Structure formats: C-alpha cells, structure tokens
Structure 1
Amino acid sequence: MTLMLTGWMLYSLWIVLGLMALDFLVGLFRSLRVGDFSPALIVGYLQDIVYYVFPLLLLASISTLDTTGWIVLTGYYIGALGVALKYVLGLKGKL
C-alpha cells in the first residue's frame, strides 16, 4: 500500500496539523506564563497525533483499495473536519 495524499487531502491534513501546532503553542505559552509547565502537555499532543492524525493517514493509504473512489475519501474528510473543529473550539476556549 502506498500513501496517497492528493489535492484536498493534503490541504486538510496541513490544516489539522497547523491547528494542532497552534493549540500546542497557545497551551505552552499559557503554561509558561503561569509557571505551571508539565511534560503532560507534550505527551498529550503526541497522543493526539496517534489518535487523530494516524487514522487519517491510514484512511489515505487505503483509499487506493476503495473501488467506488469516494467512500474512504468521505470518511477522511469527515474525520479531518471533526479534528479541525475540535482544535478550533479548543483554541476558542483557551483564548
């Protein structure tokens, strides 16, 4: 199996990773400003990469096996939208 990230799939993955990075930086800034830095902050984002980004990459890699060409892609885009909304709402709560 090969990883097939094309077009909007690549853009949606960049949006998810960008929002994760922005949320991490805001959380890091807040924890350093308050003086309550914990390694759990970093471990939490590594865990989020495994729970949210890895399944998206897995869907991208099995999209070549989909004979219809749209079922797996729909799942990928719904998943990416869900993760992006999670981080947008998380950022809204932090700011």
Structure 2
Amino acid sequence: MGFTLSDWMLYTMWAIYGLMILNFLIAFFQSFWAGKFDPAFVLEYLKDIVYIVLPLNLLISMFSIDPTGWILITFYFISGIAVVLKYLLDIKNKLIK
C-alpha cells in the first residue's frame, strides 16, 4: 500500500467500484426477498459505468495534455469523492427503507 498520487487514484477507483458493487448487492437482495425482482435495475449500474466511471478514466487519460499537471487530477479527485458520497448516500437510503 503506497501513498503516491497514482496509488490514491487507484484507491479512488477501487472505492467507486466497491461501493457500486455493494449498492448493487443490496438492491438485488432487497428486490429478491421482496418478491419483485426486475432485471432492469441492472441497466442502471451499466449506465453508471458509462456516465461515471468512463469520464473519470477519460480525465486520467487526458493528464498528459494538461499544461499545469494538477487541474485534471484535482477534478478527478473531486469527482471521485462526489461519486463515493453518492453511493454512500444511496446505500444509506436503501438500508433505512
């Protein structure tokens, strides 16, 4: 476990994927035990990958063209924290119901 910038970028992506999977499993088990299983909710997570994870990867791939070297990385971490908070609040709301 390192503390370099690339390590923190990797940890951010792990946190996003981990919370996404946890959110998916909670939604899956809640709908399964309620008896109203609808496979269409899986599409919401595919949309999240396209609308959330892909832009974060695009930001990192554009790092080489950033003249300052810190603008895209700062935006990446702000966006990553926002996504983590989004999933934490979604999980909290699902567990409270």
Q: Does TM-score exceed 0.5, indicating one fold?
A: yes
- Partner of residue 37, structure 1: 37
What amino acid maps onto 1:48 in structure 2?
Answer: D
- Partner of residue 67, structure 1: 67
Q: Give the unaligned 5+ runs of structure 1.
A: none
Aligned equivalents of 2:80, 2:45: Cα separation in 1: 16
Residue identity (%): 51
Q: Give the unaligned 5+ runs of structure 2.
A: none
What amino acid maps onto 1:62 in structure 2?
Answer: M
Q: In the TM superposition, what are the counterparts of 1:14-93 in structure 2 within 5 Å?
A: 14-93=14-93
1:36-94 deviations in whole A, cap 9, x for unaligned? 11121111100111010000000010012112110000110011011100000000001
Runs of 4+ in 1 over 3 A off after TM superposition: none
